[in-house]
């Protein structure tokens, strides 16, 4: 492949990624999970809490690469909806951590199932081998982008998480 062909292919990929982002934003409205009591962006905080355990809002903001005040507002939604609870931080009794509740775990399950159903529906006409190949290539692409982002000293640490 020539350098020009590589640039053209990278440009096409960039356009498809923008298209994917736009479609993803629209597709989240197609997730059939009912009203879970919080905005979608707040619900996305449940996943790092489920995988990494209880954490301070500032740490959660760092993990998500988001502004702490935004995450604080979203965390309040989760607590109000009963999807998360505040608990004392054992390392500093004056601070609190956010922890996912049983209802929050159930919401994660619903979101996970709805996402998988939506993707399965989109890929229903694809042969299984093509889905596996696409998955492998997409994983490799994400790993390459992740390595690039982590290696750039100009990118603030919280965005590297």
Query: Confidence class of residue 156 from pLDDT cuts 50, 70 and 90?
Result: low
CATH architecture designation of domain 36-160: Orthogonal Bundle (1.10)
- Does residue 159 have a pLDDT over 70? no
Higher pLDDT, 6 or 52: 52
Instruction: Give the span between the Cα atoms of 16 and 7, in whole angstroms.
Output: 14
Higher pLDDT, 98 or 7: 98
**By C-alpha distance, which of 66, 70, 69, 63 is closest to 47?**
63
Within 10 angstroms of residue 97's Cβ, the number of other Cβ atoms is 21
pLDDT tens across 53-102, in order?
A: 999 999 999 998 889 999 999 999 999 999 999 998 888 878 899 999 99
């Amino acid at each position: 492949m020539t350098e020009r062909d590589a640039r053209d292919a990278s440009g096409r990929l960039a356009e498809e990624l923008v298209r994917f982002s736009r479609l993803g934003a629209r597709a989240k409205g197609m997730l059939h999970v009912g009203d879970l009591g919080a905005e979608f962006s707040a619900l996305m905080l449940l996943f790092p809490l489920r995988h990494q355990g209880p954490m301070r809002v500032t740490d959660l903001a760092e993990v998500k690469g988001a502004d702490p005040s935004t995450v604080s507002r979203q965390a309040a939604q989760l607590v109000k909806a009963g999807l998360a609870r505040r608990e004392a931080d054992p390392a500093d009794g004056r601070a609190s951590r956010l922890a996912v509740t049983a209802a929050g775990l159930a919401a994660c399950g619903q979101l996970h199932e709805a996402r998988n159903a939506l993707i399965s529906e989109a890929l229903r006409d694809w042969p299984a081998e093509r889905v596996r190949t696409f998955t492998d290539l997409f994983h490799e692409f994400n790993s390459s982008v992740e390595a690039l982002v982590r290696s750039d000293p100009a990118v603030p640490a919280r965005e590297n998480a």
